[in-house]
Chain A
């Protein structure tokens, strides 16, 4: 069994795991970071999205071993050290952009990633960029509004 080491939310971690361990299992079961969700487990829904070396990826479709040495950020790593929410998290709250909240961690991680590439996105861009994230509650409308609010807040 290989030992996998990486930096997760700024902390160095190392564990010996089975070769077939997925990153999402490593995060949830080995590190206890259960904010990253498993929705479909078939690469479709985006509930498991995390950031690996600056890119949003589906943690259910990536082996932990593939991220050896990487910098990983999960939903738990977004808020500031003093607990202040990331502008995207705040915007989701302000705009009622979640109902059951199951899709929310992945949705927020993808939304943060899309703003890196499109700092001032229009509605169509936001909807296209969130194609890999499914929400069965909100109808997406308030999610789009939240991303627009966060874009404005982060531009300041």
Chain B
């Protein structure tokens, strides 16, 4: 790891100032992605601004219509939250299936979204539930947030403050985990809400995306049977040593049907 200057600001406002003042500053939240990246010398930031202990960014608020989660809320906290488990059980389950217990004790929702790893779990929930990402500058709709491989709509110096999830009628999540890393080979989040049906896929493309053919098929019949005949094309899907694009396309169907069964269960 190259050396850097470490800062632990006492407030979000101070973090923003420090980030903007740094030559090449990076936020540090849980560090479960950034520190491994630095150890491999894949990045060389001048300054790390640690927001991981800012109390103002760590909270869960639920009001019946939405669940709002602060950016530095740990995966383990979301998984164990009585409020999240009651309002959106599929979201609590997703958080509880990220990595392993030690990763969940450090990793944060804001860090996961800002990173937009193609195999990350949270992006599927954010897209399928139609969440809104609140930053120091604006509110970004989930549909406008994920731009590509490790690429988001965030601008330099912009900090995620929280994410608000509308409470759905029904939702389900299923992932096929890569057995060594436990990241998603494919994960599918399905959601039925007043505003319609949304299906989001992670692990299969450069970043999380919606599966519109399934959304159409599910609009009038929200069940695993309704997507039995939906063909998923492997075109543009990821292929690597773990599995081919064809296999991922197949998994999208299987995970979607299992997620639907769970949502209806």
Q: Which residues of A are interface residues toward B (Cβ below 8 A)?
A: 2, 18-20, 22, 41-44, 46, 49, 55-58, 61-63, 65-66, 68, 110, 113-114, 129, 131-133
Contacts and interface: CB of A to CB of B under 8 A. Distances in A.
A65 B1 CA distance: 15
Given A42-B36, A110-B101, A61 B106 contact: yes
A63 B99 CA distance: 20
Contacts of B152: none
A17 to B, nearest CB: 10
Given A58-B102, A66-B28, A113-B101, 6 more contacts: A20-B2, A22-B35, A41-B39, A43-B32, A131-B100, A132-B99
A19 B5 contact: yes
A61 B36 contact: yes
B3 interface: yes
15 contacts: A19-B3, A19-B4, A20-B38, A43-B32, A43-B35, A43-B36, A55-B105, A56-B102, A57-B105, A57-B106, A66-B52, A110-B101, A110-B102, A114-B101, A131-B182
Q: Contact size class for B?
A: 20 to 34
A19 B182 CA distance: 30
Nearest to B36: A43
B8 interface: yes
B258 to A, nearest CB: 18
B76 interface: yes
Contacts of B245: none
Given A20-B2, A20-B4, A43-B32, A62 B106 contact: yes
Contacts of A43: 32, 35-36, 103
Contact of A46 (B53, B76, B100, B105): B100
Interface string B14-34: 000000000000001001100
B8 A65 contact: yes
B50 interface: yes
A62 B31 contact: yes
Contacts of B102: 46, 49, 56-58, 110, 132
A20 B103 CA distance: 20
A65 B101 contact: no
Given A56-B102, A131-B100, A132-B101, A65 B6 contact: yes
Contacts of A57: 102, 105-106
A62 B50 CA distance: 11
The 7 closest A-B pairs by CB, nearest first: A132-B100, A19-B6, A55-B105, A131-B100, A65-B6, A58-B102, A132-B102
Contacts of A2: 6
B2 A66 contact: no
A76 to B, nearest CB: 19
